[in-house]
Amino acid sequence: MAAVIVDARNLLCPMPVIRTQDAVVKLQPGDSIKVLCTDPGVLHDIPAWCRVHGHEISNIEEHEHEITITVRVGQSG
């Protein structure tokens, strides 16, 4: 299983979602992506995108001004 890091820090939505989507198409179901973000909008946007596309949020961490969202790629990858 692959684990990919997407650096979307200092990008505003929808760019973190687009970068996540671009990474997902290269992965297999069960792989994971850590998305590094600074835009608080991702706390809503990435989980909503995951629900629509069949992926799963496995973890969300917030440290100071940085948000890390871990996404597990679903079958529709």
Q: Which CATH number do you get for residue 16?
A: 3.30.110.40
pLDDT value of residue 77:
52
In sequence order, the 6+-apart residues with CB closer than 8 A to the CB of 71 are 20, 24, 32, 33, 35, 46, 50, 55, 56, 57, 58
Residue 43 forms part of a structural domain: yes
Does the pLDDT of residue 20 top 60, yes or no? Answer: yes
Q: What is the mean pLDDT of residues 30-41?
A: 97
pTM for the model stands at 0.93
Mean pLDDT in the chain?
A: 95
Residue 11 forms part of a structural domain: yes
Confidence at 1, pLDDT banded by 50, 70, 90: confident
The total of structural domains in the chain comes to 1
Give me the domain span that covers residue 68.
3-72
Residue 77 forms part of a structural domain: no
Residue 52 forms part of a structural domain: yes
pLDDT value of residue 76:
65
The residue ranking higher by pLDDT, 19 or 13, is: 19
Catalytic residue among 4, 13, 15, 57: 13
- Clarify whether 13 is annotated catalytic: yes
